[in-house]
Amino acid sequence: MKKLLAILMVLVMMAGMLVACKAPAATENGEEVSKELNLMDMYTIKDPEGVEYDQRVALYAPMLESDENYARGVRHTFEVLYGKDGKGVYMYEVTVCDTPENAAAYKELAGADTVDGNVVIDSSDAAFFAAMEAFIPDLQTWIDNLSMSGFMPLD
pLDDT-based confidence at residue 6 (cuts at 50, 70, 90): very low
Q: What is the mean pLDDT of the chain?
A: 83
pLDDT of residue 7: 36
pLDDT score at 16: 36
Q: What does the pLDDT read at residue 34?
A: 79
pLDDT value of residue 38: 95
Name the residue with higher pLDDT: 19 or 114.
Answer: 114
Note the pLDDT of residue 93.
96
The mean pLDDT value for 46-68 works out to 94
Find all residues with CB under 8 Å of 79, minimum gap 6, and list them. 58, 59, 91, 92, 93, 94, 146, 151
The domain ranges of the chain are 35-153
Residue 136's nearest CA partner among 145, 125, 123, 148 is: 145
Where b means 16+ CB within 10 Å and e means fewer, 20-34 reads eeeeeeeeeeeeeee
In the chain, % of residues over pLDDT 90: 76
Q: What pLDDT digit, counting tens, does each position of 71-97 carry? A: 999 999 999 999 999 999 999 999 999
Beta strands in the chain (DSSP E): 27-28, 31-32, 36-39, 43-46, 55-62, 74-84, 87-97, 114-116, 119-125, 152-153
> Which pLDDT belongs to residue 155?
74
Task: Inform me whether the pLDDT recorded for 118 exceeds 90.
Answer: yes
Write the Ramachandran bin of 35: left for phi over 0, alpha for psi from -120 to 50, otherwise beta.
alpha
